[in-house]
Amino acid sequence: MSTDGDQLRFLVVDDTEDIRDLMARMVVRLGHVADQAADGEEAVEALSRYAYDIMLLDLTMPRMSGEDVVRWLRDNPDRSEGLDVVVVSAWAGEQRAVLQELGVTTVLQKPLRGQQLRDLISDRNARTAP
- The CATH number of the domain holding residue 30 is 3.40.50.2300
**Is the pLDDT confidence value at 98 over 70?**
yes
Report the alpha-carbon angle 32-34-36, nearest 5.
Answer: 170
On whether residue 2 sits in a domain, the answer given is no
Q: What is the mean pLDDT of residues 40-61?
A: 96
Instruction: Give the residue numbers spanning the domain of 53.
Output: 9-122
Residues in the chain: 130
Least confident segment among 34-38, 75-79, 90-94, 99-103: 90-94
Torsion angles phi and psi, residue 108, rounded to 5? -115, 145
| Cβ pair 88, 56 in contact under 8 A | yes
Torsion angles phi and psi, residue 36, rounded to 5? -125, 150
| pLDDT band, very low/low/confident/very high, at 93 (cuts 50, 70, 90) | low
**Number of domains forming the structure of the chain:** 1
What pLDDT score does 4 carry?
Answer: 42
On whether residue 104 sits in a domain, the answer given is yes
What pLDDT score does 75 carry?
Answer: 95
On whether residue 129 sits in a domain, the answer given is no
What pLDDT score does 92 carry?
Answer: 61
| pLDDT band, very low/low/confident/very high, at 122 (cuts 50, 70, 90) | very high
Tell me what percent of the residues of the chain surpass a pLDDT of 90. Answer: 71
**Is the pLDDT confidence value at 3 over 70?**
no
d(CA 73, CA 58): 15
What pLDDT score does 103 carry?
Answer: 85
Element (H, E) at 84: strand 84-89
Looking at beta carbons, which pairs linking 106-111 to residues 24 or more positions away fall under 8 Å?
110/19, 111/19, 111/22
What pLDDT score does 1 carry?
Answer: 43
On whether residue 127 sits in a domain, the answer given is no
**Alpha-helical runs (H) found in the chain:** 17-29, 40-49, 66-75, 77-80, 96-101, 114-128
On whether residue 20 sits in a domain, the answer given is yes
Report the alpha-carbon angle 102-48-112, nearest 5.
Answer: 55
| Cβ pair 43, 17 in contact under 8 A | no
